[in-house]
Structure 1
Amino acid sequence: MKKRNILSVICGLIACSSLAQNAKSQWVYKDKTGKLTYKTTATGDRIMDFSHAGYMGGGVALPVVQVRRTVKSSGGADDTKQIQNAVNEVAAMPLVNGFRGTVLLGPGVFTCSASITLSASGVVLRGSGTGPNGTIIKMTGSRHTAIVIGVDNTNIALGRTERADDNEEGKPTTITDAYVPAGTNSFTVVDASGFAVGDTLVIRRPVTEAWIHLMGMDDMKRDGKPQTWINKSAKEIIKRKIIAINGNKVTVNISLPDSYNAQYVPGTTVAKSAASRRVTQIGVEDLHIQCPPLETDYGHAPYAGIRVGGDDCWVKNVYCQETMNTTVLAGNRITMERVMIRHTFTNLGASKPADFSLEGSQNLIDRCDVTGGNTYTVWTSSLIAGPNVVLNCTFRGIGSRIQPHQRWATGLLIDNCTVADGGIDFMNRGVAGSGHGWTMGWAVAWNCIAKTYIIQNPPGAANWAIGCIGQRQQTARLFDSTPVLGEGYFDSHGKPVAIQSLYLAQLEERAGIKALRNIGYSGNTLAQFPNKKPRLTPVKTDVDKTLGLNLAFERPVNTSEVRGTTREFGGEKALDGNSKTYWATNDGQTTATLEVDMEGPVDINALKISEAPGSRIEGYKIEAQVQSDWTLLSEGGSIGDNRVVKFPKVTAWKVKLTITKSKDHPAISDFGLYLIK
């Protein structure tokens, strides 16, 4: 992997964070009159207006809704029914100015074995605070999400977006422009006579073979098998409201998060949107969601936090403890404000959960906080169109990162966020997952602090990192070693720019200083971002006296089996640098696999493997995933207590140990990977 260090992480974080914020971005800056001015690409694309993200389209204060029912903790085995009954009673009340009322949960512990569902518009579930004398929802029972907002959406899998609200009415027309730049808000159609100012439009950008080829997504293979990036039947869908019509030229209220190039995506359609069927005006406030701490991978984690399947909804002042895949924003114009998520144990395995999953548009994640290792703190789902904004958030945990995840999302702003132990990535994930490929276009990281950045420009699109502090990295698409992809636009790297928050600046220009105050900001200065301080976690290492640094130390690991029902013999025990702990399978198991995720392309040319006392293994092979295929590094019979193997240098994304024969259950105390200079 090719890396380019613009400044050392430690010196840069400490020194540059104290620099006077007088740098000027070339992409967005204020002119002499104080008006925001935007630089464009050669094709006219620009950074979009993100200010419409959030409740009611941004800049609107979250409402305070009158209490209609109060629920006290029973102290019994299950409070789910009494909470749901109170919610249903309020849901049956008439709407008054868009709201029915609030269900207030008193102080204490409410034990809940199933989801609390808010499926009627205008209902708020409010606790009595997140502190010691507040409200705790204690999750028990079978696998479920603590609170679900929406109708019939409790069983929708994470990463899948509800598309039932994208219906249209009337005859569609087609965009005629040869090229509509990203970030603009007007386009020309064949016939605008069926539209009127105030109409909401559904714009469908097709997926075509020509576009897939342009993006380089038609040559992905994994284990020799072709991977599908996006099916050609899919479409990127956005909704916009008409603010002006001039002949067949239509101007919409929010700038476009993607470009429309007729050469590659001909036939982009525009139609009037049918009335929305989503629930609206639902809030969750001031409570603590708690489940027991578990050492497990997220695929086996039993409990999630909150799924929002409505529009113009909010979640504020909520503390989620030990939940996995904690929140899902599956509607539009949602604000999540001051949501705190805590994981006691690092997520196990190479696959990572998402604490904030963006699956809708115009959503704002504001002043939120996550602590926990090996997670995606924020990701995006497939074909999700912005604007979406992550503002003033702090994320801690080794190996955790903000990383758009699946198959082409657009229009994401990461604004004044601190990810000091992890990364911010707008990148090509290649064959990762099930062929995620290019994940993000037209995204911006603005005045952020992160340990690393992978910012790449997709073909025909752009991504930016502006005023950010941290280490720049270049890499090939995931699981390839070549070619190394070119960087996106780094502007004023290592020195914050004068416009402290892009989102707040755009919001103030559009709606005035009152809009900032409505969402809890008195201005747009560094004082509004007290968490922007470097907080590097000391990095632990494991060094062999002969072989050097162990590059497998504490990496994510997947195993075919683990002995017993706890993590005492988990795969991570083979990577912890402690020869007294070990990974083991159950009695009678004579074959097994252990797969290490290197979390990026890593050069290795040696390995060390040790069995726990009592050698059992009689056959093994070790392979590395190189260029999306598996390459044999070593194979043999017994392993013993200290087998060292040297081989020609490879660039590995994953390394897999397969035990093909064993006298009894295998047990591995150490598994190390090295690059001997």
Structure 2
Amino acid sequence: GANGEGPNGKKQVYDWPAFHATVRKYAPNAVMFSDGGPDVRWIGNEAGYAGETNWSLLRGSEVYAGYPKYTELIEGHADGTHWIPGEVDVSIRPGWYYRSSEDEKVKSVEKLRQIYYESIGRNANLLLNIPVDTRGLVHPNDSTALMGLRVQLDQDFRENLATRAAVIGNSQKGRRFSAQKVLDHNFQSYWTTKNEAKTGWLELTFNNPTEINTVLIQEYIALGQRVERFSVAAEIEGKWKTIITGTTIGYKRILKFPTTKTTKLKISIEQSRACPLISTIQFFKTK
């Protein structure tokens, strides 16, 4: 937005600490957004995507509104000192405000789907701007696209195929943190390794060959974001074949890959800052 520059070229100076303190006083549960938070950060673009690597951390005392190195915000800071997750803000139209000239330029369902996978599916929040028209209502073209997205996502995530599988882990920290926790639909439970091991794997076995092309993984972020690198492999003709790799996971990571038919899948945590805490693993076959 405008930074308050006037005809004399002087920039308006904002008392951000006073703004933040006022919000905290009168609306303590409000979430404040800017390049540097203090609660959520701008993702560094308005194109609708977060980085494939995306830390919820930021060097909070360094980043400020108008931060010139804003491309850093796409991935966050691996060495961040503050928990300031990214928020992807993008408009359903080319502009942020309603113009009748853009009625035929509303983003397609497929484009909105891509934005979902590249924001929510990359450990970010999504703020999708929907401008109201001159009647004060959402235009039918925007509404149609939104409802189409809802139908598409319902189809994509209709059946979690992982529920058909049995799961084991190479290590677990007792029954309370067993491998089965990743399939129990409870975000508050999770699998973790014993002896603080920073690597480990989970193996899912299906009774029948199953086709999959999408994986969803979640960390238990109440205890921080830990995973730095992971992979998913499928057993094909008796040999393990890596089908997708990733870096950070965070609250939610969704990855698509070519359709693979298998009876065994292995999710390997290859690098983590501390023992991994995996709350959810789901597999889908999307169209």
TM-score between both structures, scaled by the size of structure 2 = 0.44
Which of the two has greater helix per residue? 2
Question: RCO (CA 8 Å, sep 6+): is it higher in 1 or 2?
Answer: 2
Q: Which has the larger radius of gyration?
A: 1
